[in-house]
Structure formats: structure tokens, C-alpha cells
Amino acid sequence: MRAAPVFVSQEELKAQQDAARQVSALPNRPGSYHIVTYGCQMNAHDSEKLAGLLSGMGMTEAPDRREADLVLFNTCCIRDNAERRALGNITWLKELKAQKPGLIIGVCGCMVQQPAMAQKILRQYRFVDLAFGTHNLHCLPSLLLSLLTQRSRVFSVTDDETLIAEGLPVKRLNAYHAYITIMYGCDNYCSYCIVPYVRGRERSRRMDDILREAEGLVKSGVKEIMLLGQNVNSYGSGSATETFPILLRKLDAIGVERIRFMTSHPKDLSDELIQAMADCPHVCHHLHLPVQSGDNEILRQMNRRYTREAYLDRVRRLRQAVPDIGLTTDFIVSFPGETQAQFERTCDLVDEVGFDAAFTFIYSPREGTRAAALPGRIEAAESTRRIETLIRHVEASTERVHQSLLGTEELVLVEGLSKRDEGMVSGKGRRNITITFPGDARDIGAILPVTITSCAANTLRGQRKER
């Protein structure tokens, strides 16, 4: 039985609003902020909330960290390189602070939620003024108030992992595309993964809150909504009326032009969800369905709770229901003990499924996870060879998909001017592939029909269809 989510109380939210007002009135409060974000879309959206809270305290956004009075690092710890990159950049600011003593440096997000890392920052990164974890993001106003009034470092990492804070201000980065987090945390405990430890137990927002947020976004001109969660397929309170397929159908009915979601766990991809994707005209024909490995023994050791055959069965069923669906995925190579034969089964799977694209990662041991204790570490040189081989399979698959799309028509939501080509705009089709075609700034935010005429490595080119 799932633990019922507990919502941050109205009193607490009000106390935070009071703290925000007090911060805005302080003569020594920072005038500007800059947020550096690492990690997944969930973190990107958390940064939009942090920006909303900081703007609410009267601060303006500085485009460059060197010009900001407060720099906040919203960190990720999914792999070792994500942590090293963040720590390197935080260290770089130590010098800036030497020249600009009033600079406030804050660190938050998943990295800080690990007790050993919080201790390390506390002891070894003495120039960091403020640190907080993933569960108390909504407390930023009171944390900042303590920092500014007591003039001592503020470190606050809590374990209140069942809490959901509704109604926080959000400063959105994009006028046409918006994130909505529908659930927090993860209960799956894949053996390699740190997320359940730093994001807490799985808990879902109320459907009414989500629908209200979506309606507000549609009214403000948003065209595309991306629903976020570590495993959106298991969204819900456990009741039969609050499931992910029902949520999709309701969002589809309120007139959101395009709906996307991620991430989907293959073990929870139900026939009801596939049917909802087929029935709802606004749901995009794209699914990110991380498979991680093509070998059953490795999948078992990863605690993924599906087999290669079950994954292929879901793919078949999806394609029956939504024939032009584009599939993308994630892979981990060099999981402890992975043999050459097991690795090759992952490469075959790419050839067999025909993914539009894939993210490929080398296994990175995470302290505290089950896989970190497994024997059979693969050497770095061998891991590099494996990931390069796998990338070649993925590139060949992308190429085949792109070739198959030549001459077809796509509806493209124009995101902006093309960075590389003058007189061109680019955006994503419903399959989530970037398409570039002739246009100008007036097209930004429009959804336009485009015929695909040629393909390059990662993008498709097209011609606008006259209506």
C-alpha cells in the first residue's frame, strides 16, 4: 500500500510568504541571482520554482554568474561525472568570491541530499553559504532570511520526504513549452540508481491540482505541456479514478495542444495507457522508454522487473496502436559483470527495435546502492569501447528512422531561429525529432505543417507546407 502524500500546510506556505516579504525589505538582500542547473527535467523545473521564489523576493535574474549577487547550484548526482562537474564549477566561484566578498553561494538539489556529500560541502567548501536538499526547496525564503539576518552559514537538509508543496511561484523559461511535475520520488530501487535515496518515496499530486495548473498554462498561451515524474506510468493515489491514462485523457480534453510525458518505466506501461495514447489527439507520438540493457540476466541484476521479451512485447503493442510512434531510450553499458555476449545483446536490441535516438551511459557506481557492492567492475578502456560500439548502433538506427521519414509531413512547434542557418527556424515534430525549415522570428510559438525533405546527422530539414 502506498503511503498517502502529505502536503505542506497552508500555514507553512504562508510563513514562507512572510519570510519572502521580510527578505525583500532587507537592505542587504541580494539584488540579482543566477541559477546553474544540472541533471534531468525535474531539476530544470525545480530551478524554475527557485527562480519564481527568488523573483518573489525582489531579485532579478543575472544572465551571467559573474554579475550575480547570489549564485545557486541546483545539482545532480546520478553519475560520478555529474557530481564532479558541479563541484568543479562551485570551486571556480571561490575565486570570484575572493574578489567580491558579498557574493552568496548556494548549493541545492540531489547531490546535497546525500548525507556524506552534505558533510563534505559543510567541511571542505567553506565558501558555500547556503545548502539545502530536495525536500525543502519551498523553504528557500526562510533559509535566505536566516542567512541574511544571522550572517552565518545555513545548511538545511531534511528527510521530510513525503511532503508536496503546492502553489509555489514558477518563473518559466519558455513561453510555449511548460513542465508540470505530476509525481515526486521513486520506489523502484533499480540496483544502480541513487534517485530513490535523494528524491524520496514515490508520491503523486492531486489530479485536480494538475488540471488546474494545466488550464492556467493553456490560458497563458502554452502550446506544449511536458508531464514529469521518475515513473509517470505509476502516477496516482492508488484509487481507480486517479491513474495516468485517466490523467492523460482529462488533459487531452481541456485543450492542451500538445502533451508529452517522461519517464515511462516499461514494467508499468499498461494496455490502458497505450490505448489512451492512441485515442488522445493531443498526446504526442513519442515515448521515452528506458530499457537499460538487452540481456535478461543483467536486467534481473538491475532489478528492472521486465525481460527483453516483455519490453519487445510492449514495443509491438505500442506500434500496433500508434503506428508512427517514435521511441527513444536509455542504456547503461558495463554494469558490474557484464560479459561481451551480454553487451552484444544490447546492441542487437537497438537493431531490432529501431529507436529514434538513445542516451547511452557508462555504469557509474553510486554509494549506498545495491549494485555498488557487486563484483566485476569493467575497466575504463573496455567501457569506452562498449559505449562507442553501442553509439554506432544507435546512430545507424537514427539514420534509418530519418530516411524513413523523408517525404512525410510533420507538425512542428517552432522553438526559435536556427542557430546554424540564417533564414531558418527549428522546432520539434510530434515525434520529438528536431526539424529545421525556412522561417523567421514571427513563426516562434506556432505549430506549422512541414514536409521533410532531407536529413543530416541529428536533424531533419523540411519545407513549410502552404495551407
Binding interface with ligand SF4 (CB under 6 A): 186, 188-190, 193, 195-196, 230-231, 265
Q: How far is the CB of 346 from ligand SAH (least distance, A)?
A: 12
Pick from 182, 187, 144: which is nearest to 166 by CA? 182
Closest-CA residue to 135 (of 152, 113, 104): 113
List binders of ligand F3S among 193-212 (CB under 6 A): 194-195, 198-199
Name the binder of 79 from ligand F3S, ligand SAH, ligand SF4, none, CB < 5-8 A by kind: ligand SAH
At 328, the amino acid letter reads T
Q: Check binding of 78 to ligand SAH (CB under 6 A).
A: yes
Residue type at 98 in one-letter notation: A
Q: Which of 275, 276, 245, 260 is nearest to 433 (CA)?
A: 260
d(CA 92, CA 246): 47
d(CA 245, CA 282): 13
Residue 39 touches which of ligand SAH, ligand F3S, ligand SF4, none (Cβ within 5-8 Å per kind) = ligand F3S
Residue 132 binds to ligand SAH (criterion: CB under 6 A): no
Which one of ligand F3S, ligand SAH, ligand SF4, none is in contact with 361 (Cβ closer than 5 to 8 A by kind)? ligand SAH
User: How many Å is the maximal CA-CA distance in the chain?
Assistant: 65
Question: C-alpha distances in angstroms, 415 versus 423, 434, 435, 436?
Answer: 14, 10, 10, 10
Contact 396, 421 (CB under 8 A): no
Grid coordinates standing for 13?
A: 506556505
Please state the closest distance from residue 360 (CB atom) to ligand SF4, in A.
Answer: 15
Is position 228 an interface residue for ligand F3S (rule: CB under 6 A)? Answer: no
| CB closer to ligand F3S out of 43 and 156 | 43
Looking at beta carbons only, is 79 or 177 nearer to ligand SAH? 79
Q: CB neighbours of 79 closer than 8 A, spacing ≥ 6? A: 361, 364, 366
Separation of alpha carbons 77 and 298, rounded Å: 23
Q: Specify the pairing of strand 357-362 against strand 154-156.
A: unpaired
Residue nearer to ligand F3S on the CB measure, 198 or 273: 198
Residues 26, 36, 40, 122: which binds ligand F3S (CB under 6 A)? 40
Per 3-state DSSP, the chain is made up of helix, strand and coil in percentages (nearest 5) of 40, 20, 40
Residues 352 and 332: their CA atoms lie apart, in Å, by 18
Residue 110 interaction partner, one of ligand SAH, ligand SF4, ligand F3S, none, beta carbon < 5-8 Å per kind: ligand F3S
Q: Where are the beta strands (DSSP E) in 363-444?
A: 409-417, 424-428, 434-438
- With CB atoms as reference, the residue minimizing the distance to ligand F3S is 39
Say which DSSP state 362 is in: E
**Of ligand SF4, ligand SAH, ligand F3S, none, which one does residue 196 interact with (CB within 5 to 8 Å by kind)?**
ligand SF4
Cα(425)–Cα(461) distance, integer angstroms: 10
Instruction: Say which entry of ligand F3S, ligand SF4, ligand SAH, none residue 433 contacts (CB below 5 to 8 A, set by partner kind).
Output: none
The set of cell numbers assigned to 354 is 529501431
Q: Which is nearer to ligand SAH, 243 or 346 (CB)?
A: 346
**Identified binder of ligand F3S from the candidate list 43, 47, 231, 383, rule CB under 6 A:** 43
Size of the site for ligand SAH (CB under 6 A): 17
Q: How far is the CB of 289 from ligand SAH (least distance, A)?
A: 8
What the block records as the C-alpha cell of 116 is 556524506
Q: Closest CB to ligand SF4 among 230 and 436?
A: 230
Of 110, 168, 210, 276, which one interacts with ligand F3S (CB under 6 A)? 110
Site track 201-230 with ligand SAH (rule: CB under 6 A), x = hit: -----------------------------x
Smallest gap, in angstroms, from Cβ of residue 76 to ligand SF4?
Answer: 12
Residue identified by cell 541513487 is: 194
- Spatial separation of the C-alpha atoms in residues 89 and 426, rounded to whole Å: 31
Strands (E), 344-408: 357-362
Residue 282 binds ligand SAH, judged by CB under 6 A: no
Question: Is 42 an interacting residue with respect to ligand F3S (CB under 6 A)?
Answer: yes
Burial of 335-352, coded b for 16+ CB within 10 Å and e otherwise, reads: bbebeeebbebbbebbee
Smallest CA-to-CA distance from 66 within 36, 25, 45, 107 is with: 36
Nearer to ligand SF4, 293 or 418 (CB): 293
- Tell me which of ligand SF4, ligand SAH, ligand F3S, none is bound by residue 189, counting a contact when its beta carbon lies within the kind-specific cut-off of 5 to 8 angstroms: ligand SF4
Task: Tell me how many residues contact ligand F3S (CB under 6 A).
Answer: 12
> Shortest gap between Cβ of 198 and ligand F3S (angstroms)?
6
Looking at 7, 132, 306, 361, which residue binds ligand SAH (CB under 6 A)? 361
Q: Please give the Cα distance from 417 to 13 (Å, whole number).
A: 40
**Interacting residues toward ligand F3S by CB under 6 A:** 39-40, 42-43, 76-78, 110, 194-195, 198-199
> Which residues are near ligand SAH by CB under 6 A?
78-79, 192-193, 195, 230-231, 263, 265, 290, 292, 330, 332, 361, 363-364, 366
